[in-house]
Structure 1
Amino acid sequence: MEEEKKDLKGTGEEQPHWVGKEYSFFNHSKCEYFPCHKTNKPEEFNCLFCYCPLYALGDKCGGNYKYNEEGVKDCSQCKLPHVRENYGYIMKKFSELIEVAKIK
């Protein structure tokens, strides 16, 4: 499925349809755990995917993860779901999540 793109800012550059939309970004600066990852730009920290929906994809998530000694995925150094521009990437990965969740 090709992502729809629009010229949202009158620059002549095509941008994904979700750029600039409220549903693609949420910053919860009053959260007791904010920010949950170290950042130099807390105002740009996207809390929309507080718990990363890509965790279940294991090594196919595309983020900065490692596995600990017990074989548990550790995403404590990953900011992929917290970057505003990664909304489109995460949404594109939902087809892979659907496959993971299917009854086999």
Structure 2
Amino acid sequence: MAKPYWEGKEFSYFSHKNCEYFPCHTGADPDNFNCLFCYCPLYALGDKCGGNFRFLDSGIKDCSRCKVPHKKENFGYITGKYKELAELVRKQRENSTENVKKPY
């Protein structure tokens, strides 16, 4: 079975062990902690991100228990969700009442 195109590539993993917050999730494995997605790009997908999250009473999505974007082996999962993010943006643009033409 062939490995995914990204596996073993430098661009798919970055661990910033000198960061004052490293590792930023309790119980995370510091030897397999990917900081590349420090701020999860899947946050905007709400309950369709696939991670371990909860919504607070305030409506804020709390991802503090989620390690999905921080595991080396999940790079493909994260980047595989980009089409869903692009679709979300497209729908928002279509539904926007701010379709004002820019002056340039």
Give 3-state SS (helix, strand or coil) of 1:31's partner: coil
Count of aligned pairs between the two proteins = 92
Structure 1's consecutive aligned runs of 4 or more residues displaced over 6 angstroms after TM superposition are none
Gaps spanning 5+ residues in structure 2: where? Answer: 95-104
Q: Identity, % of aligned pairs?
A: 59
Task: Give the corresponding residue for 1:17.
Answer: 5
Q: For residues 40 and 66 of structure 1, do their structure 2 counterparts lie closer, same or farther at Cα, with a shift above 3 Å needed?
A: closer
1:55 alignment partner, one of 43, 47, 64: 43
Equivalent residue letter for 1:27 = S
**Which has more radius of gyration?**
2
The TM-score normalised by the length of structure 1 is 0.84
Superposed displacement of residue 101, structure 1? 1.5
Equivalent residue letter for 1:15 = K
The TM-score normalised by the length of structure 2 is 0.84
Equivalent residue letter for 2:63 = C
- Which protein has greater RCO, CA pairs closer than 8 Å, 6+ apart? 2
Give RMSD over aligned pairs: 1.0
